[in-house]
Each structure stands twice: as structure tokens, then as C-alpha cells.
Amino acid sequence: GNSQPWRIVVVDSKACRDRIIASFEAENEAAARQYQSEKASLYRQLKLAGLKEAPVHLAIFSDEDPEQGAGLGRMTMPETLAYSTVSMIHTFWLAARAEGVGVGWVSILDPQQVARTLQVDESWRLVAYLCVGYPEEEHVDPELERVRWQARTPLSSRLFHR
Ligand SMILES: Cc1cc2nc3c(=O)[nH]c(=O)nc-3n(C[C@H](O)[C@H](O)[C@H](O)COP(=O)(O)O)c2cc1C
């Protein structure tokens, strides 16, 4: 329905960033406590956000009741609004990488706290909080495999034929 549901908040102010960082630190600590022994200590060594380093912070919301499109195409699958917003993020991510810019998606946040901090409309749902900037390192393989958080699995484990 060409509803263009993405809403992009450029988070510039130190006051807002500080509250986002506090949310990340609280949620990250809560997540760390879900793991035991070796996995817990490895979790605590992971770098799971670049909130303090990234020059640009973008909070991407999806409007769950946009006027644009007048509802066309989303009566059967309203979740397509969020899918549209994710597609926009993916396109942004590819374009950024093509320019040598890095993007980190931070999901270890309380979405309602982020919405309150940024004082957005009630119909906006947080989809992604993005840290954007030039990366300090370039890698081909995922960090979580490099630090042995997870094993590399072949595509065949995710591909099915019927
Ligand atoms: C939906 C989604 C959520 C993510 N959440 C986090 C997160 O909370 N913390 C984190 O360190 N990485 C997270 N990531 C991964 C990073 O965004 C990504 O691996 C990182 O930016 C490195 O970028 P690259 O994969 O282009 O090298 C997430 C990725 C996706 C797709």
C-alpha cells in the first residue's frame, strides 16, 4: 500500500543518548545473568553495542497505523508494516556498507523506554536502534564465530526442499 511506515529519529542530544546507554547497560546485565559458567563469562566479554563510539545514532520505528496507503495491502497481514521497515533498514545497511560505513543494530534495549526517551507517537513501535560510523576493523567472518560464541553452520542446515 505504499504506506512507508518507517519513522527515523536521529538521536543527537547527549541527554537522550545517555538514557539509551543506561537502558543498554541494564538490559545487557539482565541478559548476562541468563547464562551460566563459561557462557556467562564469554557473554560479558562480547562487545554488543557501539553506542559510546558511534557518531550517528538512528532509532528506527515502524508506524503501526500510518495514514499513507489507506490500509491497502495490510488488512490480511498487518505485520507487513514492520517488514517494510526492516526492508528499509536492510537497504540502508547495504548502501552504508557500499560507502564503507558500518552499521550496528542494537536490540539489547527496552523498546518502551526508548520510545519514552525519544517522546514518539504511541503508534510507533521500535524496530531498530542503529549505531552508524566508520568501522575500526573489517572482517569477512562474523564476530560471534571468531570468538567461538557459536559454530559456523552450513547453509544446508537452513535450506529445505519439499
Ligand atoms: C535484528 C538484529 C539485531 C541485532 N542486535 C544486535 C545487538 O543487540 N548487539 C550487537 O552487538 N549486534 C547486534 N546485531 C548484529 C550487528 O548489528 C552486526 O553484526 C554488526 O553491526 C556488524 O555488522 P556487519 O555484520 O555488517 O559486519 C543485530 C543484528 C540484527 C540483524
Q: Running along the chain, 162 residues long, what does each successive block of 10 average in pLDDT?
A: 95 98 97 95 95 98 93 89 97 98 98 98 98 95 94 95 97
How many angstroms separate the CA atoms of 135 and 131, rounded?
11
CB burial class (10 A; 0-12, 13-18, 19+) of residue 86?
middle
Instruction: Specify the residue with its C-alpha closest to ligand 1, atom 6.
Output: 106
pLDDT of residue 107: 97
pLDDT of residue 74: 86
Dihedral of the alpha carbons of 91, 143, 30, 102, in degrees to the nearest 10: -30
Q: Listing from the earlier edge strand, what are the strands of the sheet with 56-63?
A: 6-10, 56-63, 124-133, 102-106
Domain extents for the chain?
6-158
From the alpha carbon of 143, which atom of ligand 1 is closest?
Answer: 19
CB burial class (10 A; 0-12, 13-18, 19+) of residue 53?
exposed
Which residue of 107, 126, 129, 145 sits with most ligand 1 atoms within 8 Å of its CB, as the best mutation to test the pocket? 107
How far away, in angstroms, is 130 Cα from ligand 1 center?
9
pLDDT of residue 79: 93
Any ligand 1 atom below 6 A from CB of 107: yes
pLDDT of residue 1: 83
Any ligand 1 atom below 6 A from CB of 101: no
Q: Which fold has domain 6-158?
A: NADH Oxidase (3.40.109)
pLDDT of residue 10: 98
Q: What is the largest CA-CA distance in the chain?
A: 53
Instruction: Specify the residue with its C-alpha closest to ligand 1, atom 4.
Output: 105
